[in-house]
Amino acid sequence: MSRKPNIYGGGAQTNANGLKFERDTDLLQIISSIDGYKVEGNKVYRSENLVAEYFSKHSLYTMFLEPKGIFYKNYISAKLLPDDVLIVGDTCYIIEKKYQKVGGSVDEKLVTFPFKKEQYQKMFSPLDMKVEFYYLLNDWFENERYRDTLAYIENKGSRYFFVPKELIDSVNI
């Protein structure tokens, strides 16, 4: 019997679908589409005033932390690679994007954010910065089976947001 191709995600398709979701939910592109905001490189301006800086993956370290003398190995044992980071004043917003079309390992990953937030906080504490951790989710996670998980996220002081299905459908994820 021949194997059916995996068209939904999980397994070998996890990276393909997840990376496409990450690309197609480009935070800087979304911000630049809002009236009054302008993006130049990784800097976000509102009415000509710098209001935020954006980083992703390794650039958080090379462009923000290391120039300030913060080297992750001095604070945590393994480098974390966030999908999106917005630095606004004295707050670092870590944004993780999760996409799913069928059940899988991402179910367990959603509840690991307290550990990750604690790790990020260790690195940002010498800068007297606070860390917030948010999820950007596709509509798969609106399913009733995630009610407890989503409640846990909020009860532990984090937040989640759903990407509108129309946006996902428009980019053929």
> Which pLDDT score, from 0 to 100, does residue 21 have?
54
> Which pLDDT score, from 0 to 100, does residue 25 have?
64
Domain ranges of the chain: 13-170
Q: Which of 44-48, 80-84, 166-170 has the lowest mean pLDDT?
A: 166-170
**Tens digits of per-residue pLDDT, 70-97?**
999 999 999 999 999 999 999 999 999 9
d(CA 58, CA 137) in angstroms, rounded, equals: 22
Geometric angle at alpha carbon 81, from 28 and 142, rounded to 5°:
70
- Share above pLDDT 70 across residues of the chain, in percent, rounded to a whole number: 80
| pTM exceeding the 0.95 threshold for the entire prediction | no
d(CA 132, CA 114) in angstroms, rounded, equals: 10
Is the distance from CB of 9 to CB of 18 less than 8 angstroms? yes
> Which pLDDT score, from 0 to 100, does residue 154 have?
97
> Which pLDDT score, from 0 to 100, does residue 2 have?
42
Length, in residues, of the chain: 173
pLDDT at 129 over 90: yes
> For the structural domain made of 13-170, what CATH number should be given?
3.40.1350
- Share above pLDDT 90 across residues of the chain, in percent, rounded to a whole number: 66
